[in-house]
Chains A and B, each alone.
Chain A
Amino acid sequence: MFKATGFPFHTVALEQVMDLPSSVVAMAPSPSEQPASNYKEAVGHFLQSTSSSRSTPQDEEQTSLPEVPEAHTHFLQQLIGSAKTLTARQDLLNTLRQHLLVHTARTEGYGKVMLGDNCTRLAVKLLTSITLGRGAQLAQDTGFSDARYGDITLVRPMRDYSAKEIAYYNHMFSVASVFTPSLDTKTTDKASIQRLTESFVTKLQEDFPSTVSTIYRTSEKLQTTCRSSAKAEPSDKCLLCVCALDTAVENASAFQATLTSEQLSQTKYPGAAGTEIPRQNPESSAPSGQCCSSGGAEDCGRAERGGGGCCSSAKEPETTDLKSLLCYSCQLTLKDMSSVEHLPQYILSEAQRRQRRSQMREEISEFLLEDGEGGD
């Protein structure tokens, strides 16, 4: 089917995500801005180059599925298996898929990647993002263009067309399509948050036909909370989704309230002493709290063994450190994973690199001059 389109195509196996270089999660500098007048020239140039390369026969392209070492498949299965909830699994899969897309685009020399999200799917994605805590990244997840990777821009040209329109079009013009089952096909409504949101929107659409278009219009009016977006410092971006971090603990924010709850649930009621209020140190209580809450009903019994002894203490430093590099919703995904060892090497090495760099930064912080501070 791909051959029939006449475009050059690449088939990439998900297992290759294990081999990605760590530059995938780093933002590459974007190419210099071209003024609009050059657009026609650029189009003309592109048409010329493609017509010349079209002479290469399609048979030379990779027509069979790529070879995949079995160890990679095994690793991948372990990784997906380490995510305990379907929600986390789907989230992880999306992230890995996107990394792979970006990497392929970079190696093959493409500057833009077109995604086929339609209006209905984007409306569901918007609502899902809100429920997963990705409010700060909404504009990039559901907007027309997504420039978070710097040199590669992800665009969504199909976002104006609803799923029904596309289905009718394909039917009338005999456009071939294939249905690939995803992780949540044929699952119950409550299997994962993504599945729940999808069924909610579809049901609501039946009673209120304007639901999807209203949600779509809402997504057009949103933007990212621009907080230090000008800085190119990679440590300000989330490790997994490469969006700006939204975990600054501000006063009276939901995030602060969550940390407070975690901490208070593990401190003793002061009793007669009364006024002594324990110091808030989320770092030490966060890992054990994380273990307790991810365990579920059966595992809460572990609490009796003491706050810090829930899971092996060797894992504590790793999990804590990764958390500080992630945005709010990626932290939630990480919480649902039983261990971080199965993450592909490129993610772990990039995490270590960032930690080393932030340690360096701390050591010399008193000597650094911030932009815009002090004299000219």
Chain B
Amino acid sequence: MPVLCSGCKEKRAALKRPKTGHSLCKECFFWAFEEEVHRTIVAAKLFKPGETVGIAASGGKDSTVLAHVMKLLNERYSYGLELMLLSVDEGITGYRDDSLETVKRNQQQYELPLKIVSYEELYGWTMDAIVKQVGLKNNCTFCGVFRRQALDRGAIMLKVDKICTGHNADDVAETVLMNVLRGDIARLRRCTAISTVSEGEGVVPRCKPLKYAYEKEIVLYAYFKKLDYFSTECVYSPNAYRGHARTFLKDLESVRPSSIMDVIHSGENLSVRDGVKMPVQGTCNRCGYISSQALCKSCVLLEGLNRGLPKLGIGKHHRLHDKLLSQQPLTEREERKLKSVDF
């Protein structure tokens, strides 16, 4: 006997929701998914009418679904937002060029303006060149730090009020686990926030409307709605530490599907003891971007790349900031430590 949808109880169920285990037909699932995103947006008060919002689009499934759902909800519930697509070109041949084509197709489908910023024009380095210097182990640090600033700069060029990214529930849960494993207390508190605090010059607040949507549900949604997206892993990512957290989370999900939400719930309820030293937000002395140290991370990383010291920026280097700022040459011992790269 065919299973009936638990929503409308009339039609035959077409899928089983990974999040709750209910069997739903297509329309009820679309409705539930979109409505959840809508409620998240409303409950967290993410947007105000009349704002310009940049959608960080990479061509992957999360950002494609995000663009689709944002456009749909904007019309359905009259958010009054002006939407734009923003994309970053890291310069990874074979991976990024293809996904950028997808973004351009999205732009035509959804009729939204698009802006692409590239690492080459912002920093003078592509990811391929960076990996040649840095190796395969720490390159994700470079890419992530550079991308954050690239998004902000692109947003300022487009003059948007907010950026929204396609981070889903799995991403947030992985980040919580990763921060616990790495002992990163400062980030542990901030990573479950649905939107960042908006202070400082050159920083555009960003939010995650898909924060409570499971990755599997996003794929189901894109599949049934026949959305066009690019689905390949970044070639440089297999050795990232995040991979461990990801496999662990996937295993957890197979034991108990609600684990992802449980991890996010735990992360939201964690608090740090008083008296623990936390970093204070300031500005970078060189480029004016927000930073908790004298120099922001991307300045430090760039300095390391330009000088041929790839390990500058990985690991502890606070003491070297003053030296870098005042353009003093580093001692030989320091240079030797920073040059060694293990592939």
Pair from one complex = yes
A residues neighboring B (CB under 8 Å): 85, 87, 126-127, 129-136, 138-139, 189-190, 192-193, 196-197, 200, 204, 211, 214-215, 217-218, 221-226, 246, 251-258, 260-262, 264-271, 277, 289, 292-293, 295-297, 300-301, 303-304, 306-307, 328-329, 332
Inter-chain contact B43/A256, CB cutoff 8 Å: yes
> Closest approach, in angstroms, between the C-beta of B173 and any C-beta of chain A?
9
Is there an interface contact between B31 and A270, defined as CB atoms closer than 8 Å? yes
Q: List residues of B (247-298) whose CB comes within 8 Å of A's CBs.
A: 248, 251-252, 254-256, 258-259, 261-274, 276
Name the contact of A254 in the complex, choosing from B9, B261, B274 (C-beta under 8 A): B261
Contacts of A332 in B (CB 8 A): 256, 258, 262
Interface pairs (17), CB distance under 8 Å: A87-B256, A131-B262, A193-B252, A193-B256, A204-B181, A215-B183, A218-B180, A223-B271, A225-B270, A225-B271, A251-B44, A252-B194, A261-B20, A268-B7, A300-B3, A300-B23, A303-B5
- Distance from B275 Cβ to chain A, minimum over Cβ atoms (Å): 9
Residue among A253, A258, A265 making CB contact with B7, cutoff 8 Å: A265
CB contacts (< 8 Å) of B32 on chain A: these are: 261, 264-265, 267
16 more CB-based (< 8 A) A-B contacts, given A264-B36, A301-B3: A130-B263, A190-B251, A190-B255, A193-B256, A221-B272, A221-B273, A253-B268, A262-B20, A265-B6, A268-B28, A269-B7, A269-B30, A269-B31, A270-B31, A293-B21, A328-B262
Is there an interface contact between B181 and A214, defined as CB atoms closer than 8 Å? yes
Query: B: which residues have CB within 8 A of A?
Result: 1, 3-9, 13, 16-17, 19-24, 27-28, 30-32, 35-36, 39-40, 43-44, 176-177, 180-183, 185, 188, 194, 212, 244, 248, 251-252, 254-256, 258-259, 261-274, 276
Cβ contact within 8 Å between B259 and A131: yes
A221 near B4: Cβ-Cβ < 8 Å: no
Contact B23 A303 (CB under 8 A): yes
Minimum Cβ distance to chain B for residue A214 (Å): 4
Contact B6 A292 (CB under 8 A): yes
Q: What A residues does B8 contact at CB under 8 A?
A: 268-269
Find out whether the CB atom of A132 lies under 8 angstroms from the CB atom of B262.
yes
CA distance in complex: A196, B251 (Å): 8
Give the distance to chain B from A131, nearest Cβ to Cβ, in Å.
Answer: 6
In angstroms, Cα B178 to Cα A215, docked, is: 11
Task: Name the residue among A129, A261, A297 with the largest chain B CB count within 10 angstroms.
Answer: A261
Q: In whole Å, how far is B245's beta carbon from the nearest beta carbon of chain A?
A: 9
Is A222 in contact with B17, judged by CB distance below 8 angstroms? Answer: no
Shortest Cβ distance from B278 into chain A, in angstroms? 10
Task: Give CA–CA (A204, B264) in the complex, Å.
Answer: 22
Contacts of A85 in B (CB 8 A): 255-256
B181 vs chain A, min Cβ distance (A): 6
A260 near B36 with CB under 8 A, answer: yes
Chain B residues, Cβ within 8 Å of A223: 271-274
In angstroms, Cα B21 to Cα A297, docked, is: 8
Nearest 10 CB-CB pairings of A with B: A135-B266, A252-B44, A133-B262, A257-B212, A136-B269, A303-B6, A265-B22, A269-B31, A214-B183, A304-B4
* Shortest Cβ distance from residue A330 to the other chain B in the assembled complex, whole angstroms: 12
Cross-chain contact of B265 among A253, A260, A264, A266 (Cβ < 8 A): A253
Chain B residues whose CB sits within 8 angstroms of the CB of A214 once the complex forms: 181-183
Q: Complex formed: what's the CA distance from A248 to B28 in Å?
A: 28
| Contact present for A292 and B22 (CB under 8 Å) | yes
Complex interface: chain A residues within 8 A of B20 (CB): 261-262, 265, 289, 292-293
In the complex, which of the residues B24, B40, B259 contacts A252, with contact meaning CB atoms closer than 8 Å?
B40
C-alpha spacing A38/B17, complex, angstroms: 61
Residue of A nearest to B180 (CB): A218
Residues from chain A with Cβ under 8 Å of B27 in the complex: 269, 271
In the assembled complex, the CB of A133 is this many whole angstroms from the nearest CB of chain B, namely 4
Residue of A nearest to B265 (CB): A254
Our pick among B22, B28, B180, B266 for the contact of A215 (Cβ within 8 Å) is B180
> Is the Cβ of B39 less than 8 Å from the Cβ of A260?
yes
The answer to whether B251 touches A300, judged by C-beta atoms less than 8 angstroms apart, is no
Q: How far apart are the CA atoms of A214 and B273 in the complex, in Å?
A: 17
Chain A proximity of B14: nearest CB distance (Å): 13
Q: Is the CB of A218 within 8 A of B22?
A: no
Specify the chain B residue showing the minimal Cβ separation from A274.
B76
Asked if B248 contacts A87 (CB within 8 A), the reply is no
Contact A218/B183 with A254-B268, A257-B212, A269-B30 known, Cβ cut-off 8 Å: yes
Minimum CB–CB distance for A305 against chain B, Å: 9
Whether B272 lies near A261 (C-beta < 8 A) is no
Give Cα A249–Cα B20 distance, bound, in whole angstroms: 18
